[in-house]
Amino acid sequence: MPSLVKRTGAEFFGTFWLVLGGCGSAVLAAAFPNVGIGLLGVSLAFGLTVLTMAYAIGHISGCHLNPAVSFGLWAGGRFPGKDLVPYIIAQVLGGMVGGGVLFLIANGAVGFDVKAGFASNGVGLHSPGGYSMTAGIICEIVMTLMFLIIIMGATDRKAPAGFAPIAIGLGLTLIHLISIPVTNTSVNPARSTGVAIYAGGLALQQLWIFWLAPIVGGIFGGLIYRLLGEKE
C-alpha cells in the first residue's frame, strides 16, 4: 500500500480535478451562448471527473474524492478510521484549490459575478428549483446513500474487475441528473466547500447542510451494503 502522504496527495489532486472539471463545466460552459452544455452536460462532466480519476489514482488512494465517501467506506468496513481526518483534509484542500483556479479563470470574463452562484449548493432561495430545506436534506441523504451502495458494490471482490470506475462515474452522472434542480447536487462536502468559500452569502450559510446530509447518507449507505453484500 502507498504511504499516507502519497494517498492523501492523490486525494488532493483528484478532488481538485472533480471541482475544477465538474463545477467548471457549470460555471464556464453550462449556459455558454448557443453551445451551452446545460444540465445534461454538467451531469456528465461530474461523472467523467470521477471516472477519469478512478482509473488515474484508484490504485493509489482508492479515489474517494469526497468526505462522505470516506465516512461511508469506513462504516462499510472498507477504510480505516485512523485515515479519515488526513483524507478529509486533503479532499477539502483539493476542492478549495480547484475552486480557486476556477475563480481565476471565470474572473477573466467580462461581467463575471461570483455572487451569482458559482456552482454552489443550496436550498430554499438558493435552490435552482426553489426546493425546501427538508426536500434538499432528504435528497442529499438518499443520493449519497445510493452512491455508496454503487461504490461498494462495484468495487466488491465479487464484481467484474476493471469496470468499477465506469459504474461509479455513471452513478454520479445519474445522481446529478436527478438532483441538480433540488440542491445543485452536492453529495460531497469537499465539492460544496470548494466553491462556497468564494461564493459567500447563502452558499456559506447553508454549507452545513452539505456536510451533514451527505455524511449521514454515506454512513447509512456503507452500513446497508455491509449488511447486504459482505457477509456471505
CB 175 within 8 A of CB 143: yes
Please tell me whether residue 87 adopts helix, strand or coil conformation.
Answer: helix
- Specify the pTM: 0.95
Domain definitions of the chain by residue range: 4-229
Identify the CATH number of the domain defined by range 4-229: 1.20.1080.10
pLDDT per residue, tens digit, the chain (232 aa), is 899 999 999 999 999 999 999 999 999 998 766 767 899 999 999 999 999 999 999 999 999 999 999 999 999 999 999 999 999 999 999 999 999 999 999 999 998 999 888 999 999 999 999 999 999 999 999 999 999 999 999 999 999 889 999 999 999 999 999 999 999 999 999 999 999 999 999 999 999 999 999 999 999 999 999 999 855 5
Nearest Cα to Cα of residue 168 among 63, 85, 21: 63
Q: Give the Cα separation of 145 and 214 in Å (integer).
A: 8
How would you label 115-152 residue by residue, b for 16+ Cβ within 10 Å and e otherwise?
A: eebbbbbbbeebbbeebeeebbbebbbbbbbbbbbbbb
